[in-house]
Amino acid sequence: MRFLIFFSLLITFASCKTKTIISEVDTYRAEIEHHRAEYKQDFIKDERSPLREPDFEFMNFYPADINYKCDCSFEYTRDAKPFEMSTVSGKTKIFTKYGVASCNLDKIPFEVNIYSSKQTQAIPGYRDYLFIPYKDLTSGESTYGGGRYIDMRMGDIRNGRVSIDFNKCYNPWCMYSDGYNCPIPPIENHFGVEIKAGEMVWTGEKKKG
């Protein structure tokens, strides 16, 4: 009898734990859907953007996957010197390595280099802006060959830790149209893993700048 009571309690506990996990996943998926809706609205608000609402039907995203939200250790890069990052147009933009995040993805360790831009920091509201350009093994296949980007804020880094959510990565505007100076991810941010998260290739016709 005692065994049956214990077994019943064990099943109940496991069921509650499963429901909690499912609830967390559903909540996270809703968060990503909200993020992507706001992301699309930003195209409409910005008069410089290459896309308008009719173009949204050609946008594609991987399903939200909480496993691609990585908890990383972070180390500041001391005395880093500004360098020129190449862009698709052939021009360069000045960036400085802000630090390095160390993560595990599918049990594979890799490092994510995070950059700051003096030009961006001069813009009100973007003084704490940080930038992650990267390529992975999906680049040129299911995602844009020129790589993808993630935006961050300095305040996202706390006590030597930072969360990097690849579900929130997005395409450079060069994916959609000519006429933009999109930074090309440095070789140090070319990852030897498939990151099946975030924005995929845009299937619309590329516009002329």
Residue 99 contacts residue 77 (beta carbons within 8 Å): yes
CA gap 182, 70 in Å, rounded: 25
Question: What are the tens digits of pLDDT across the range 72-110?
Answer: 999 999 999 999 999 998 899 999 999 999 999 878 899
Residue 95 contacts residue 183 (beta carbons within 8 Å): yes
As a whole number, mean pLDDT of residues 9-27 equals 59
- pTM (predicted TM-score): 0.88
pLDDT of res. 208: 83
pLDDT of res. 61: 98
As a whole number, mean pLDDT of residues 133-155 equals 97
Question: What are the tens digits of pLDDT across the range 166-204?
Answer: 999 999 999 999 999 999 999 999 999 999 999 999 999
Q: Where are the domains of the chain?
A: 60-189
CA gap 146, 183 in Å, rounded: 9
Residue 114 contacts residue 164 (beta carbons within 8 Å): no
Distance set, CA 43 to CA 35, 73, 187 (Å): 13, 33, 29
Tell whether the model's pLDDT for residue 19 goes beyond 70.
no
* Residue at 54: amino acid letter: P
Looking at the chain, the number of H-run helices and the number of E-run strands are 2, 7
